Amino acid sequence: MTDARHPRLAHPDARRPRLLLPAAALAAAALLSALAMPQGAARAEDDQAKLMKDGARSFNKCKACHNLVSGPKRMGPDLKGLFGRKAGTYEGYDKYSDAMKASGIVWDDETLAAYLENPKKVVPKGSMAFAGIRKESELTALLAYLKAETAAP
Ligand code: HEC
């Protein structure tokens, strides 16, 4: 008698949609996570490429005075091996200011960010005629670019 009044409850197929939903959700989740990995990796590559492009554009402000590694003589020292280098010690460059030579700075992410943001604040009597880069995103890109490019032999 209950069967007749509530056919859906008694029907063997009645519960199927409820089981299908989680199954579909699981399948979708599995598909998404399978897709997410290569997508994430591709995005990281895009980000890195953009950083290098922006950094190279920013370095246009420096390249009249600096070679990334080595090259023809310029007003400023070559930046070869910059990270980890002591300020004012590039061999073959003899125009460092006394202030730079005496600064005691070792170039790393932090010291370079401060110097390039405001050279005169970090080395007040230094001789680099450059106003500085105030835009944080540009500075980040420039530092990433310098790190990649000045490490070349
Ligand atoms: C007008 C020329 C000029 C421009 C433009 C310029 N620099 Fe310099 N840079 C110099 C000179 C000259 C020095 C040496 C400063 C001193 O001895 O006080 C120097 C020093 C440096 C140093 C210290 C290097 C060392 O061996 O200790 C770094 C790093 C540096 N510059 C990076 C940059 C970057 C990056 C840019 C662009 C955002 C830039 N400079 C723009 C002329 C320039």
Residue 113 tokens, joined: 């960010």
- Centre of ligand 1 to C-alpha 150, Å, is 14
Best of 130, 138, 143, 147 for a ligand 1 pocket test (most atoms within 8 Å of beta carbon): 130
- Centre of ligand 1 to C-alpha 113, Å, is 13
Residue 1: pLDDT above 70?
Answer: no
pLDDT for 128 equals 98
**Mean pLDDT of the region 75-101:** 97
Residue 133 tokens, joined: 């880069």
Query: What's the CA gap between 1 and 85, in Å, rounded?
Result: 90
Decide: helix, strand or coil at residue 86: strand
CATH no. of 58-149:
1.10.760.10
**Mean pLDDT of the region 78-85:** 97
Question: pTM for the full model?
Answer: 0.80
HSE-CB at 65 with a 13 A cutoff on CA atoms is 11
